[in-house]
Amino acid sequence: MAVIHRTTMTPGKLELLASWLPAQPWNLGGGHEPRLAKAGGFRLDDPQGEVGIEFMAVTDESGDLPVTYQVPLSYRGAPLPGAGHALIGTSEHGVLGRRWIYDGAHDPVLVAQLFALVLGEAEPQAQSVDNTPDPSVTAHFAGAGHAAPIGSVDVTNGPHGTDLRLLTASAPASPSGPAGQLTIRVNRVLRPEPVESTTLATGALGHVTADWLLPDGAKARGLYAVVRDGAPE
């Protein structure tokens, strides 16, 4: 279960994200220097206990209208080979020492646990409380025959989010792609929306939904991730 250390990180996560965010293709900041505030999120456990996994919602209030982004983060005690392009930065953790912090969409451990969450095989954890499941995070999957482990992952960043193409261990062929191929879109810009009607209308196989806080303190809810059959659109 997730263990939250009550300590400091230097530099802090928001400081690192403020430097990293403007270069992302889904950033809507329009050249403004981000002014970020934590807005919510949740955690997942690494079965091996080595990698920290967090799905963070942060709100940028630098523009005319606030924008809330989702950033999946993975925390490692050593560099992830071949993932230098996905490194957000390093930080000194008061208990664990130096941590390498990655855009988790490029971390195979985070992606595997996100897929397990979609399949109902991983339990979401509270973002800031030890050993506490978060029942407000829900996942639904209507696909049949798809199963872990993941054979390979391609990551595509675009203006609408990040697409993760997964080759699962077993699944029937479909009209939209070869056997075992799924795409999970990680929504980078979070918008309140009616989840069930949206996913049904788009023909999605599944989704992950969770809450976040708006700048006025009101609670919003929407899609953190959407699962579709086949390759990215």
DSSP letter for each residue of 157-211: EETTEEEEEEEEEE---BTTBSTTEEEEEE-SB-----HHHHHHHHT-SEEEEEE
**Which pTM value belongs to this model?**
0.89
Q: Is the pLDDT of residue 226 over 80?
A: yes
166 inside domain: yes
Domain count, the chain: 2
The average pLDDT across 22-46 equals 93
Domain-located, residue 18: yes
Q: Give the residue from 96, 111, 93, 131 showing the smallest Cα distance to 53.
A: 111
Domain boundary among 111, 135, 158: 111
- 42 and 95 housed in the same domain: yes
Query: For residue 175, what pLDDT is reported?
Result: 45
Question: Could you list the residue range(s) of the whole structural domain that residue 173 is in?
Answer: 126-229
Q: Region 37-65: what's the mean pLDDT?
A: 95
Count of beta carbons in the 10 Å neighbourhood of residue 118: 24
| 171 shares a domain with 133 | yes
Report yes or no on 121 lying in a domain. Answer: no
What is the tens place of the pLDDT at every residue in 8-18? 778 989 999 99
Contacts of 217 (CB under 8 A, 6+ apart): none
Q: Do 104 and 132 lie in a common domain?
A: no
End-of-domain residue from the set 111, 135, 160: 111
Percentage of the chain beyond pLDDT 70 is 82
Segment 121-138 mean pLDDT: 92
- pLDDT for the residue 102: 98
Task: Dump pLDDT digits (tens) for 63-108.
Answer: 889 999 999 999 999 999 999 999 999 998 766 778 999 999 999 9
**CA atoms of 167 and 78, how far apart (whole Å):** 27
Statement to judge: residues 224 and 130 lie in one domain? yes
Top mean-pLDDT range of 82-96, 161-175, 193-207, 210-224:
210-224
Same domain as 202, residue 176: yes
52 and 91 in a single domain? The answer is: yes
The DSSP call for residue 111 is H
Mean predicted confidence (pLDDT) in 36-56: 96
Q: Are 104 and 221 in contact (CB under 8 A)?
A: no
Looking at per-residue pLDDT, the higher value among 203 and 214 belongs to: 214
Last residue of a domain, one of 84, 111, 138: 111
Give the list of residues 6+ apart from residue 98 with CB closer than 8 angstroms, or none.
Answer: 77, 90, 91, 92
Ramachandran area for residue 82 (φ above 0: left; ψ -120 to 50: alpha; else beta): left
